[in-house]
Amino acid sequence: MKLIIASNNRHKIEEIKAMLGVRFETVLGMREAGLELEVDENADTLEGNARKKAYEVFALADSMGIMEEGDAVLADDTGLLVDALDGAPGVRSARYATDGHDDAANRAKLLQELSGVPFEKRGAHFATAMVLRTKGAPDIEATGRVFGVITEKERGENGFGYDPLFLYEPAGKTFAEMNAEEKNGVSHRRNALSLVLAALN
């Protein structure tokens, strides 16, 4: 059985392979599977975007005749939800400041929006919605979360996106101050994958 990840992000593919490789003989990114597709992530929710990606990538792969019984497509969408901003940027996380994916501009806008908000009211969480669409089996949907606090300035050089602003309090570090192993051990994506794996089992 094979699993196609609806992404070409090497780090994401390796993380998923490490967890779900026990259930699938082959784990491939879209490029490795020979799939060329840009999915318009225009749903109103993270779950909606993950579902849209899973369905469209699955349909393309199936139409090419590369999906056999038991083969699956896994898609995800991730957002940062800030309590003081009523859950913003949420589904707009990647396009918070501009229509492009400008991480630095997104972080700058978030800090501006939270200007003057005290530490105890800067709670936030990352959420990753995942949809596993399998040929010949029901869909599996899961959402993993990790809770933290938005710092008042950027800290750390690792990671991407909002990681320099997301303080994971049990470790006393932002995600950007953690190495990949530390972050992957507690991340929202890891929590979502654990739920998917539990459902598979």
Mean pLDDT of 7-28: 88
Which domains can be identified in the chain, with CATH numbers?
2-200 (3.90.950.10)
pLDDT in tens, 149-181: 999 999 999 988 999 999 999 999 999 999 988
pLDDT in tens, 50-86: 999 999 999 999 999 999 999 999 999 999 999 999 9
Q: Specify the amino acid at residue 21.
A: G
Considering only CA atoms, which of 122, 123, 48, 130 is closest in space to residue 91? 48
Q: Which residue has the higher pLDDT, 161 or 10?
A: 161
Contact (CB, 8 A) for 16 and 26: no
pLDDT of residue 168: 97
**Which SS3 state, helix, strand or coil, does residue 6 take?**
coil
Tokens of 167: 């303080």
pLDDT of residue 10: 83
Cα 29 to its chain centre, rounded Å, is: 15
Contact (CB, 8 A) for 100 and 94: no
Question: Could you give the CA distance from residue 113 to residue 124 in angstroms, rounded to a whole number?
Answer: 14
Q: Which residues are marked as active site?
A: 77
Does pLDDT of 100 surpass 80?
no
149: left (phi over 0), alpha (psi -120 to 50) or beta: beta
pTM equals: 0.91
Mean pLDDT of 143-154: 97
Q: Specify the amino acid at residue 42.
A: N
Angle at 126 between CA 131 and CA 39, to 5 degrees: 40
Considering only CA atoms, which of 94, 187, 85, 180 is closest in space to residue 146? 187
Confidence of residue 9 (pLDDT cuts 50, 70, 90): confident
Considering only CA atoms, which of 164, 25, 7, 146 is closest in space to residue 75? 7
pLDDT of residue 3: 97
pLDDT of residue 72: 97
pLDDT of residue 197: 93
